[in-house]
Structure 1
């Protein structure tokens, strides 16, 4: 059982500290040149006009947020036949589009749990595509160890007001972290859920977190990111997943009251 330092305590500590948020602007990746190197980030369409951001981490696997898989009205898992991953989606075109074969949230994630705070720590999902994507410009991203407090990270995402092309925030800061979650001064909004958080410490982008939620700190929008330590369990859950797309089995655990982007 991983230790979980309550995120409310983390935010309370932030509130008593003097931290200047210096959010850098979003860059629209409007052309092929702008988007070069980020093409494996895509829009995960969920049906009925809703979407999240997702990222290839293997030719047939997309990493996103766990809550993206659930209907917010019924709490039921969305049918995978409504889902489609559009890699590099920009201005009405994708470099590759794939239907979804299977989708699974982390086994400890419980969408309907009353403990919204603890839920953030497990807010991860894997999407298995019906067919792998094997294009040179769509190389899956590697994963890396979580960033330290004070480290600079970046985010590539879609959102409700920029649904037709991704945006890049090159630099934002990890302003707090515990064992399971990050608080970052990155821009997050509806549709940003599941967006990859990148570290450049190795000289090339590696995923170190996934955007789970947003909240306000000092009247500024900050992002809450889920750590990737549960990914091994998630991969195992996907292997064991009943191939029937309607058979959703997710066990219970905890989660805070934040706005999911």
Structure 2
């Protein structure tokens, strides 16, 4: 059964006259903090933005490959996927400055993803192949984590879009499957619009690895959904 009370995390391209709702957050308690984009594992995170106006988060899994959410790559005006050449990846982004920039040369959306509906959640992932490699460490993949596994989630979020905000003290709630049996991970990490595509991180040895890709959030509570990396073809 499709999880209820879930909302996509896309950061809108147009500023609204009224404050936008912030799904994925506990309105009574702030669980996020600004983190140093120069320090691991945050230095593997990138800002993904398109000339159609969308802005999200991504993670380097190779110098020339970035994981992000598929709905971040849909033009709001047309409902069509954006062109690879008009998709920009910024490494080391902080307050308008960045360490390096590359455009995509190829975009591969998750099998079964429908740009018109921006779903389903289980297919809401994308692999960007870059026109030029980016510097910085890459993140390894993690096996599907069990419920209760400590986790972290960070992204360039709507309320502070120019700094990287992270929930460093959260956990995996449960793995689950959608109607097409695609693996998802329900988590309790605080993150809102703009964090889409950010890596759901779990411990692996002395470092951190990607267990999932942030895709959706609870409407009025801390936590959300991530697409599990286990079983995805990322080659």
TM score, norm. by length of structure 1: 0.73
2:172 equivalent to 1:187: no
Label 1:129 to 1:63 Cα distance change in 2 as closer, same or farther (>3 A): same
Q: Distance between the aligned counterparts of 1:176 and 1:108, measured in 2?
A: 23
2:208 equivalent to 1:205: yes
Q: What whole-Å deviation, never above 9, does each CA across 1:52-107 have from its counterpart, x for those lacking one? A: 10110001000001111112342211122221100120122112111111111012
Q: Distance between the aligned counterparts of 1:8 and 1:91, measured in 2?
A: 35
Report the secondary structure of 2:58's partner residue: strand
- When Rg is computed on C-alpha atoms for both structures, the one with the higher figure is 1
1:228 match? 229
Q: Is the 1:46–1:52 Cα contact (8 Å) retained in structure 2?
A: no
2:58 match? 54
2:114 equivalent to 1:110: yes
Deviation of the 1:182 alpha carbon: 1.4
Choose between structure 1 and 2: higher helix proportion: 1
Label 1:49 to 1:67 Cα distance change in 2 as closer, same or farther (>3 A): closer
- What is the 5 A alignment of 1:88-167? 88-113=92-117, 116=119, 119-133=120-134, 135=135, 138-167=136-165
1:63 match? 67
Q: Distance between the aligned counterparts of 1:125 and 1:86, measured in 2?
A: 16
Divergent runs of 4+, >6 A: 21-24
Report the secondary structure of 2:230's partner residue: coil
Q: What whole-Å deviation, never above 9, does each CA across 1:107-139 have from its counterpart, x for those lacking one? A: 22223359x5xx111111001111112x3xx11
Bigger drift between 67-76 and 119-128 goes to 67-76
TM score, norm. by length of structure 2: 0.80
Report the secondary structure of 1:178's partner residue: strand
2:166 match? 168
Structure 1's unaligned 5+ residue stretches are 10-20, 236-261
Q: Distance between the aligned counterparts of 1:206 and 1:226, measured in 2?
A: 14
Deviation of the 1:49 alpha carbon: 3.7
The CA RMSD measured in Å over matched residues stands at 2.5
Indicate which of 3, 25, 43 corresponds to 1:7.
3
Q: Distance between the aligned counterparts of 1:164 and 1:28, measured in 2?
A: 10
Q: What whole-Å deviation, never above 9, does each CA across 1:7-57 have from its counterpart, x for those lacking one? A: 349xxxxxxxxxxx897721212574xx34421201001124421101100
Label 1:128 to 1:147 Cα distance change in 2 as closer, same or farther (>3 A): same
